Chain A
Amino acid sequence: MSEKKPKIGVYVCHCGSNIAGMVDVEAVRDWAQAALGQDGVVVSRDYKFMCSSLGQELIEKDIQELGLERVVVAACSPHLHEKTFRTASERAGLNPYLTELVSIREQVSWVHTDKQVATEKSKALVSGAVHRVAYNTELQPLKVPINPNTLVVGGGIAGIQAALEIANAGFHVYLVEREPSIGGHMAQFDKTFPTLDCSACILTPRMVEAGTHPNITLLTWSEVISVSGYVGNFNVTIKKKARYVNEELCTGCGICVEKCPQKVIDDVYEAGLGYRKVIYTPFAQAVPKYPVLDRPNCTFFKNGKCKACEKFCPTNAIDFTQEDQYLNVEVGNIILATGYDLFDARRVTNYGYGRLPNVFTSLEFERMSNAAGPTGGEITLRDGKTKPETVGIIHCVGSRDKNFNNYCSSICCMQSLKFAHLVKERTGATVYEFYIDMRTPMKAYDEFYQRVLEEGTLFVRGKVAEVTNATHGPHEKGKLIIQVEDTLVGKQRRIPVDMVILSVGMEPRHDAKQVGQMFGISCSSDGWYIERHPKLDPVTTMTEGILIAGCASGPKDIPASVAQGAAAAARVLDKILQKEVELEPIRATVDESKCSGCRICNNLCPFNAISFLDDVGVTRINPALCQGCGTCVAACPAGAISGTGFSNEQIFAQIEGLLMGV
């Protein structure tokens, strides 16, 4: 650089002993002053905790007194404190984008074991930043207005909670649900742990509130099919599937359901354990009350005859000509509360589900124990009559298992304990629980475990090898035998039971990946949606304006799902009340005079920010959608795209700085 160098201040943080334990902080400080003086460094300091108020004041004071034009802070990861130091610079009158943070903790002190090498590496990184920061330019954050409407996808308890919070604050919500009714999995359960209050009794008031709220547009039997736009200004297309019932005329009297002559197995709400009519409302308290006609199974649609529902409907609400509708809505924020699928227990062939009649899944048992379920709340074997005398409950089916899912599904221990209690209460049967580890960490959970222990449930610690009907003698005849290694006794045991309940784990929705792509968010290797930060930012995603709540990001119980629904709503309200959102100015821009129109970059953008202008034959980047990832910048063969904050000059200078000591 021939022209006058900007005045640069270097600040090296000890982070207590986090950095100073492995890096000679004073040496880095002195070296920066001495060796980088020619590159514009006018002051170099160290401090115990740079992020403290005193540390920040140190920088502010130097900016004002020494007239610093650039600041380099060598401390922790930019994820944590970049904002802190940029704000400090701004307070002192310096554009925040003229401050750079160098990570010498995550990338140096925490990962190295040789102090000398770590110190040298810190020097190189500081040097890179000093060279680079000289080319930083003043940037202004982008301001985008926020549409105050919100889309909530998924009408389970998390989605209902989020919708109600926002609606109660006075803003409009579109609540989209794929099934005929909102309520989600919680509507299928009988009792909730650990308090054993009736699931429907606590859920249905919320469902009714959501269904009647003036600020909520409820779209059940509907799916989002496309999303475009960006935070504050999303454009969403929703497919409202044909119900074949005119919602304006229907009174929800249920005569059509009663008169429909065709019954099919209900795979969704009754978990395959019961039947429903072809025109149906999934359960008595369904919201909305309008039934749905299941077209593929309808006799009229199959062979042109029947129409029993139409004949008996007192308000002529049945409409066989109804077609799918497509609605376009504009929203500012989107909350995905898409929930989970149950692990398919048939995959664990050694537990015999699907082959041995008296092996049930946890959801089947929920329906069975529910007074509104197929057996009216009677706990029976699959013949629908016989009461079991012995019941085995197997934990961790499909979870904590290298063959299936590695993770813990977190709710299964408590759910199994609840089952043990219900079986004992209703049948007096002997109950065995087969567990690997008992996990009861939340409020009043362990107390419930103690209660079930005292009730006389027998606990066997060990992973069940097999459930079989192959007997070893007449004493086992007619029973299901659970073969298990009892790891507390150190023995193999064979325990004959009448009924087995498999406490199956949770899995991401089968279409989570496609849905995630549609909304521009990504899934972890297990398939759950990834949060912006697993601890500190659990309900937002890396895409601005797209939030997640409930089991969409991993297994959760009801209280956690409700809390996440409310948390996501709070984040949305925060955005709405600000009326506009500030976007980081780190963006890619196309120099249209260099763009050849090759379109290589068009399909690479993970945020759908790039569009091609057919009339002028060049590519343009929407600055509100661009997240500054740099993929297109690297891909452009003409070098026509440059990333703000990552210009060629900056990158080359940084490399030069890094290699200075080599």
Chain B
Amino acid sequence: MNKYLFYPGCSMEGSARAYYESLKAIQPPLALELEEIEDWNCCGATEYLSINLIPAYSLIARNLALAAQQKNGTDTVMAPCSACYLNLEKADYYMAERPALGEKVNEALAAGGLHYDPGTLQIRHLVDVIINDIGLETVKSKVVRPLTGLRVAPYLGCMVPRPDFAKRWSDHEHPSELDDLMKALGAEVIDFPMKTSCCGGHMTQIGPETAYELIRRLVAAAEEHQADIMVTMCPMCQMNLDAYQGETNRHFGTNYHMPIVFFTQLMAVAFGIDPKQAGFGLELVSAKEALARIGLNVPEEAKPAAPRRKPEGLPMPKPLPKKYASGQAVAEE
């Protein structure tokens, strides 16, 4: 049983309900035990950080202080939302790096009888936990309905793999984690070139035209690579691409139809869980057609074996050896 202190974040109960429901659905097969941090509060998203660091970090650190108090057989906080994950990680890192900031934040926390020593907790994202603690082998062993034939564009968004203080991700520009996870489910994963590009964030509110262009690029790239569906791990990305895709189409006179769901929803489906229980149907750009491709409604036909082909043209270089994880050479010995 893998146990974590769980910080759900606000969106899991609102716009990203599909994420929460599918996460709950895959918990039993993955033996994933989550203990919610009691009385947690909003992480402040990105707004507060650009105005005043002390209240912003105090808001975040309150959650860390509560989690550290609760510490129930684990010192790892898991956050499924990218923005929450990044904020918790940042607070933990900068309170240590800038002792003056850490002191002021703790002064503020003292008003509520709380205190947080940076470094006490490990802060990790759901994808990291699934891949590195539970393991792809376990995930594979739970697959009863492989996603064979479904072309998936893995879209991580910008906040999880950067700046990666704890060096947990394989790379900052082209991390392979989400690709590996989708492959473990049997999906056909496209080499999505924009997997860590920006979705526009809150620009939908203050400069929609900028956001529409960013959304268009992402959706267009997925479509160009003939993806059936995009998967993400970020509620912000999911909302922008899902809720503003129609608006983007109207703005550019285009006709994109690219469903975007949470990776946990596809995991749940692959584990044999009913799509409705996995949060399907909550998305605005319908994923019905994509689901049909994995034979949820249509029985699967036997595919003819691919003919053996002679290598054409010039060979490609081999993949980067593991020792260069994160793009940095690891000192030998």
Q: Please give the residue numbers on chain A whose beta carbons come within 8 Å of chain B beta carbons, in ascending order.
A: 265, 272-275, 344-350, 352-355, 357, 361, 374-375, 380-385, 403-404, 466, 468-473, 477, 513
Q: Is the CB of A265 within 8 A of B315?
A: yes
The answer to whether A384 touches B314 (Cβ under 8 A) is yes
A472/B320 in contact, CB under 8 A: no
Tell me whether A354 and B173 are in contact (CB under 8 A): no
CB contact under 8 A between A274 and B313, given known A346-B319, A354-B319: no
Q: How far is the CB of A307 from chain B (nearest CB, A)?
A: 26
The residue on A at minimum CB distance from B171 is A349
- Chain B residues within 8 Å of A385, by CB: 313
- Interface presence of B253 (CB below 8 A): no
Residues of B near any A CB (own CB < 8 A): 171-174, 191, 193-194, 197, 217, 220-221, 224, 312-320, 324, 327-329, 332
Q: Which residues of A contact B320 (CB under 8 A)?
A: 344, 346-347, 349, 354
Measured in the bound complex, the distance between the Cα atoms of B225 and A477 in whole Å is: 11
**Bound complex: CA of A610 vs CA of B212, how far in Å?**
73
Query: Given the complex, which residues of A lie within 8 Å of B328, measured CB to CB?
Result: 347, 403
Shortest Cβ distance from A355 into B: residue: B191
Closest 3 CB pairs of A and B: A384-B313, A346-B320, A470-B193
**Closest CB of chain A to B317's CB: distance in Å?**
5
Identify 20 residue pairs between A and B in the complex whose beta-carbon atoms are under 8 Å apart, listed by A's number: A272-B315, A273-B315, A274-B314, A274-B315, A344-B320, A346-B320, A346-B324, A347-B324, A349-B171, A353-B317, A354-B316, A361-B317, A383-B314, A384-B313, A403-B328, A404-B329, A466-B173, A470-B193, A470-B217, A471-B221
How many whole Å from B22's CB to the nearest CB in chain A? 28
**B324 contacts A344, C-beta separation under 8 Å:** yes
- Whether the pair B314, A349 counts as a contact (CB closer than 8 A) is no
Greatest chain B CB density within 10 A among A274, A346, A473 is at A346
Contact residues in A for B313 (Cβ distance below 8 Å): 381-385
CA distance A353 to B174 in the complex (A): 12
Q: With A and B bound together, what is the CA distance between A469 and B328 in angstroms?
A: 24
Q: How far is the CA of A375 from the CA of B173 in the complex (A)?
A: 32
A477 vs B209: C-alpha distance in the bound complex, in angstroms? 23
Complex: A357 Cα to B217 Cα, angstroms? 22
With contacts A344-B324, A346-B317, A347-B327 known, is A468 near B312, CB below 8 A?
no
The reply to whether A375 and B314 contact each other, CB–CB distance below 8 Å, is yes
Q: What distance in Å separates the Cβ of B167 from its nearest Cβ neighbour in chain A?
A: 13
Query: Main secondary structure on chain B at its contact with chain A?
Result: loop
Contacts of B220 in A (CB 8 A): 471-473
**Complexed CA–CA distance, A382 and B312 (Å):** 9
CB distance from B328 to the nearest CB of A (A): 7
What CA separation (Å) do A345 and B221 show in the bound complex? Answer: 24
Residue of B nearest to A375 (CB): B314
A169 to B171, CA, bound (A): 54
A491 to chain B, nearest CB (A): 17
Chain B min CB distance to A468 (Å): 5
Interface centre among A353, A383, A470 (most CB of B within 10 A): A470
How far, in whole Å, are A473 and B217 apart by their CA atoms in the complex? 8
Are the CB atoms of A349 and B317 closer together than 8 Å? no
A204–chain B nearest beta-carbon distance, Å: 26
Which residue on chain A has the smallest CB distance to residue B312?
A: A383
Q: Which residues of B contact A348 (CB under 8 A)?
A: 327
Contact B316 A347, beta carbon cutoff 8 Å = no
Measured between beta carbons, the chain A residues less than 8 angstroms from B171 are: 349
Within the assembled complex, what's the spacing in Å between the Cα atoms of A239 and B252?
68
In the bound complex, residues from chain A placing their C-beta under 8 Å from that of B327 are 347-349, 403
Residues of B within 8 A of A357 (CB): 316
Closest chain A residue, CB of each to CB of B315: A265
Which single residue of chain A is at the shortest CB-CB distance from B217?
A472
Q: How far is the CA of A398 from the CA of B96 in the complex (A)?
A: 31
The answer to whether B319 and A470 have CB atoms under 8 Å apart is no
Q: Which residues of A contact B191 (CB under 8 A)?
A: 355
How far, in Å, is A492 (CB) from chain B's closest CB? 14
Check if A355 sits within 8 Å of B217, measured CB to CB. no
A470 to B317, CA, bound (A): 21
In the complex the two chains form, is A470's CB within 8 Å of B314's CB? Answer: no
CA distance A99 to B213 in the complex (A): 78
Query: What B residues does A349 contact at CB under 8 A?
Result: 171-174, 320, 327
Task: Please give the distance in Å from A388's CB to the nearest CB on chain B.
Answer: 13
**Residues of A with C-beta under 8 A to B193:** 352, 468-470
Contacts of B224 in A (CB 8 A): 471, 477
Contacts of B221 in A (CB 8 A): 470-471
Choice from A272, A347, A469 contacting B318 with Cβ under 8 Å: A272
Determine the chain B residues whose CB is within 8 A of the CB of A265 once the complex forms.
315
Nearest Cβ on chain A to B24's Cβ, whole angstroms: 34
**Shortest beta-carbon distance from B155 to chain A in Å:** 12
18 additional A-B residue pairs with CB within 8 Å, beyond A275-B315, A350-B173, A354-B320 = A344-B324, A346-B317, A346-B320, A347-B328, A348-B327, A349-B174, A353-B317, A354-B317, A354-B318, A355-B191, A375-B314, A382-B316, A384-B312, A466-B173, A470-B193, A470-B221, A471-B220, A473-B220
Q: Complex Cα distance A274/B191, Å?
A: 25
CB distance from B37 to the nearest CB of A (A): 35
- Compute how far the CA of A414 lies from the CA of B122 in the bound complex, rounded to whole angstroms: 48
Chain B residue at minimal CB-CB distance from A514? B332
How many Å from the CB of B268 to the closest CB on chain A?
A: 29
Query: Measured between alpha carbons, how far is A471 from B332 in the docked complex, in Å?
Result: 39
User: Given the complex of chains A and B, what is the CA–CA distance between A272 and B316 in angstroms?
Assistant: 8
Given contacts A347-B327, A355-B174, contact A468 B194 (CB under 8 A): yes
Most chain A CB within a 10 A radius of its CB, from B173, B220, B312? B173
Identity of the chain A residue whose Cβ is nearest the Cβ of B252 in the assembled complex: A473
**A382-B314 in contact given A355-B174, A470-B194 (Cβ < 8 Å):** yes
A346 to B321, CA, bound (A): 9
What CA separation (Å) do A64 and B217 show in the bound complex?
A: 89
Bound-state CA distance A473–B221 (Å) is 9
Residues of B within 8 A of A345 (CB): 317
Residues of B contacting A350 in the complex (Cβ-Cβ under 8 angstroms): 173-174
Best-buried of B224, B315, B317 by chain A (most CB within 10 Å): B317
With the chains together, A355 CA to B173 CA distance in Å?
A: 12
CA distance A353 to B220 in the complex (A): 23
Separation of A347 and B174 alpha carbons in the complex (Å): 11
Query: A361 — nearest CB in chain B belongs to which residue?
Result: B317
CA distance A353 to B173 in the complex (A): 13
Chain A residues within an 8 Å CB radius of B312: 383-384
Closest chain B residue, CB of each to CB of A271: B317
CB distance from B162 to the nearest CB of A (A): 12
Q: How far is the CA of A473 from the CA of B324 in the complex (A)?
A: 34
In the complex, A348 Cα to B317 Cα: how many Å?
14
Interchain nearest-CB distance for B4 vs A (Å): 29
Listed residue (B193, B221, B324) with the most chain A CB atoms within 10 angstroms of its CB: B193
- State in angstroms the CA–CA spacing of A385 and B314 once bound together: 10
Q: How far is the CB of B134 from chain A (nearest CB, A)?
A: 26
Residue contact B317 to A272, C-beta cutoff 8 Å:
yes
A382–B174 Cα gap in the complex (Å)?
22
Q: CA of A471 to CA of B219 in the docked complex: distance in angstroms?
A: 11
* Cβ contacts under 8 Å, A374 to chain B: 314
A404 partner residues in chain B, CB cutoff 8 A: 329
Contacts of A346 in B (CB 8 A): 317, 319-320, 324
In the complex, what's the smallest C-beta–C-beta distance from A4 to chain B, in angstroms?
Answer: 57
Min distance, Cβ B161 to any Cβ of chain A, angstroms: 11
Q: How far is the CA of A300 from the CA of B224 in the complex (A)?
A: 47
Bound together, the chains give a CA A354 to CA B328 distance in angstroms of: 17
A361 to B172, CA, bound (A): 22
| A265, A274, A345, A348 — most chain B CB neighbours (10 Å) | A265
Give, as a whole number of angstroms, the nearest-CB distance from B316 to chain A. Answer: 6
Are B329 and A347 in contact, CB atoms less than 8 angstroms apart?
A: yes
Compute how far the CA of A133 lies from the CA of B186 in the bound complex, rounded to whole angstroms: 80
Minimum C-beta distance from B129 to chain A (A): 23
| Nearest CB of A to B256, in Å | 13
Expressed in whole angstroms, the Cα–Cα distance for A409 and B60 within the complex equals: 45
Q: Determine how close the nearest CB of chain B comes to the CB of A486; give it in whole angstroms.
A: 21
Task: List, in ascending order, chain A residues with CB within 8 A of B332's CB.
Answer: 513
A383 cross-chain contacts in B, Cβ below 8 A: 312-314
Minimum distance in angstroms from A340 CB to a CB of chain B: 15
